[in-house]
Copies of this chain bind each other. A is one copy, B any other.
Amino acid sequence: MGRIHIKDIRGHIGQEVTLAGFVHTVRNQGNIVFLMLYDISGSVQVVITKDYLSIIKTAKNLSEESVVQVTGIAKTEAQSPGGIEIACRTLTILSAADPNTPIPVIGKQESEVELDKRLDWRWLDLRKPKNTLIFKVWTIMEQAFREYWIQNGYIEIHSPKFMSTPSETGAELFEVKYFDRKAYLAQSPQFYKQMAMAAGFEKVFEVGPVFRANPSFTSRHDTEFTGYDAEISFIESHQDVMTEEQNVIQYVLQKIKEKFGKEISMFYGRDLIVPSIPFPRVTMKQAKGILAKLNVPGEKDGDLSPGEERKLCEYIYEKQGHEFVFVTEYPVSARPFYHMRTEKDPTLTKSFDLLWNGLEITTGAQREHRYDILTLQAKEKGISLESIKFYLNFFKYGCPPHGGMGIGPSRMLMKIFNVSNVREVTYLYRGVKRLDP
């Protein structure tokens, strides 16, 4: 249809242009009608004057949220929003909207609408440029991760989501009716990305959904979310994994800031900071020491509560001006059986979490790749060896030392936009009580 985007009108002043998009508001002033037209790139005022009476008639009856195609002359106009307007010559309705929208969309009072109702009508909610921006940023964020990984020799895998056994802990697993038996949905690609190490792939990443039958209703949990996973071979320790992670995160945030820093600041008041390297690293023991000095009550032994995570980040930010901190060497009790233990203290693991402004966004570790030790560690945790036999086999016929991490992209987005609820940054949130739309 020879259509151009609204953001490109400025290059066509004085010319006839064709636009298409949603009409978010119709202002009828009798002999003249103003439409606010939105497309993915921006918004512009369309003016229909009395020279086009039949169009005026159509426009007056046009329901807001309808989709139209407009041709008209692009003009600069000081009184218009953005300084540009379109003098309409043709108006075609591509899709007429039911005027009774269940939630307000743009330009109407929306502060009263509660989140749950917005999620019921998510596609109307997503029409707001502030919300669309989240997914534009997600697109660039994911592409930047991939660029970094692929430039650094990673291979992408798509591992299966169906598993035959309730592996790892067996907790929070979804069960699937699988022909004449049962299957389980993978809670992470952990085992399968380690399989790639045993296959000699050396460095892999995976992007895909992970499933957790978590019955909680917090603002940071969901039953299904996107995970970014990476695993690398021939490391010396978990320190190498952290170095790799800080590099990729710096690269990604640089890219996001370049492309969307201004809009993130405009819509969310968040000045995105590209973090310096290296990120601060503290052991769990050091972290607990800091928190004790600050008189922060600890909820769990050897792990950090959300409150502790916040306080620790505030402390690091105050002392070092850094939004990120790696917490390392979690005790064996707080980590899965496959985390490698430190040489100096067998009660500690070569593991880490990455916290960003008070929120855990990553868990990582060096993995135990020695078959005998791994088997012992599984037994110690009370795991049925039969249920993880396929996994233990990965380490029987040669497997490089390796480690990796899992990153939560929706948690990263919470911190990029400084929003407190994961539902806001999820395309379609899934929780205990929500499977629709």
Contacts and interface: CB of A to CB of B under 8 A. Distances in A.
A41 B179 CA distance: 41
Contacts of A209: 158, 160-161, 208-209
A394 interface: yes
A157 interface: yes
Contacts of A346: none
Given A123-B199, A201-B126, A143 B146 contact: yes
Contacts of A298: none
A400 B95 contact: yes
> Which interface residue of A98, A156, A211, A213 has the most chain B CB atoms within 10 A?
A156
A65 to B, nearest CB: 4
Interface in A417-431: 427-428, 430
Nearest to A435: B164
Interface size classification for chain A: 35 or more
A355 interface: no
A428 B191 CA distance: 12
Interface stretch (A48-56, A71-79, A134-142, A275-283): A134-142
A390 B143 contact: no
Contacts of A138: 155-156, 158
A143 B150 contact: yes
Interface stretch (A170-178, A301-309, A323-331): A170-178
B436 A390 contact: yes
A183 interface: yes
Contacts of A393: 121, 437
Contact of A159 (B394, B397, B428): B428
Nearest to A400: B67
A223 interface: yes
18 contacts: A1-B234, A40-B201, A95-B369, A97-B398, A98-B397, A123-B195, A123-B198, A124-B199, A126-B199, A126-B200, A135-B157, A139-B155, A142-B156, A146-B146, A157-B427, A176-B177, A390-B437, A391-B437
Q: Which 6 A-B pairs have the closest CB atoms?
A: A164-B435, A126-B199, A97-B398, A390-B437, A123-B199, A139-B156
Interface of A: 1, 3, 20-22, 38-40, 65-67, 69, 94-98, 101, 121-124, 126-127, 132, 135-136, 138-140, 142-143, 146, 150, 153-164, 174-179, 183, 185, 192, 195-196, 198-203, 207-209, 211, 213, 215, 223-224, 226, 234, 236, 369-370, 390-391, 393-401, 427-428, 430, 432, 435-437
